[in-house]
Amino acid sequence: MYKNILITGGCGFVGSELVKHLLKKGYFVKVLDLQIYGSNLNDHPNLNLIKGDIRDENAVDLATKSIDSVIHLACISNDPSFELNPTLGKSINLDSFLPFLNICKKNKIKKFIYASSSSVYGIKNIKDVTEDEKLDPITDYSKYKAQCEKIFFDHNSDMIKTIIRPATVCGLSSRLRLDLVINIITKHAFFDKKIKIFGGQQLRPNIHLKDMIDAYTLLLESDERLIHNKIYNVGFENLSLNEIGFAVKNIIGSNLKLEVIKTDDNRSYHISSKKIFHELNYRPKRKIEDAIVELKKHFETYDKNEFEKDIYYNIKRMQNLNIS
């Protein structure tokens, strides 16, 4: 088992909780992150936290020294954040990727796990979207994810290569995000006593943050012969926005008003995660109701003003910092 891990974007929504989980399991973890949302990590003897930019080849070279495996999470995530500054998004999400892979090859990285996105499938009117379906990304964010997948598998190196296409993650994190569908609906329901659903029939694949962490850990610890050159969808519940709204209403308060608003955003997809279930015996353990309950408990300890801060919203934070 490889015990020296680099996690790019390790201070983020998923990354910060993944780092803490791996440290508890005895891994030695390096993190490379710009820390625009804070570090969200406490000091630990097995943690080497590097504040740096994935586009800085010197920083990448330093971060990949004496490392066995890489989990590459760093990116400008979600479509609105990407569209705020497309040039910035391209430079981080696409242009930096091949140089990063070349440095990993030079420093003899053995295993590389790339976090893509289930949004690379675009709009699919089929029951279950498997990993073999044609990619049809409809935004620059998802197009660059798809391009990076091709660059990754075409790259000439001896690394064990695995791509993961996550569903939309939900739940509580030390770097809490309130711009994700279940998290933001729960926040509005709790503080504003109303739920707004844009559209309603669109399907969204979801997965609890802790189940996402379990998936990354499983890939780190799996036999490399099983996962080399493999792509895995990782999701659990494929629910319509209406179903998500009713789940939130049932937990936050049955008297809440649920308002459905027309929208031009018809993105809808229903991913199948049977491949990782069958090949690696991966089983999610948590439902979206678990995420809603833990968010509700967290919201009960603060007033609403706390959750208006830009730190909880990617696009607000990027606007205020004017990152280039």
For the chain, list the strands marked E by DSSP: 4-8, 28-33, 47-51, 69-72, 111-115, 160-166, 168-170, 194-198, 203-208, 230-234, 237-240, 257-261
Q: What is the pTM of this model?
A: 0.95
Q: In which order are the strands placed within the sheet that holds 69-72? A: 47-51, 28-33, 4-8, 69-72, 111-115, 160-166, 230-234
Q: Tell me, what's the pLDDT at 200?
A: 79
Q: Tell me, what's the pLDDT at 124?
A: 81
Q: Does domain 4-169+206-234 have CATH number 3.40.50.720?
A: yes
Please, what sign has the CA dihedral across residues 124, 130, 133, 139?
positive
Strand pairing report for 237-240 and 203-208: antiparallel
Q: Tell me, what's the pLDDT at 1?
A: 66
Residue ranges of domains in the chain:
4-169+206-234, 175-205+239-269+290-321
For 74-167, list the strands marked E by DSSP: 111-115, 160-166
Q: Does domain 175-205+239-269+290-321 have CATH number 3.90.25?
A: yes
Q: Tell me, what's the pLDDT at 77?
A: 83
pLDDT (tens place) for every residue of the chain, 324 residues total: 679 999 999 999 999 999 999 999 999 999 999 999 999 999 999 999 999 999 999 999 999 999 999 999 999 887 676 677 788 889 999 999 999 999 999 999 999 999 999 999 988 878 789 999 999 998 899 999 999 999 999 999 999 999 999 999 999 999 999 999 999 999 999 999 999 888 878 888 899 999 999 999 999 999 999 999 999 999 988 888 899 999 999 999 988 888 888 877 766 778 999 999 999 999 999 999 999 999 999 999 999 999 999 999 988 888 887 777
Residue 291, SS3?
A: helix
Distance CA 31, CA 15 (A): 9
Q: Please answer whether residues 314 and 77 qualify as being in contact, where contact means their C-beta atoms are separated by less than 8 angstroms.
A: yes
Q: Tell me, what's the pLDDT at 9?
A: 97
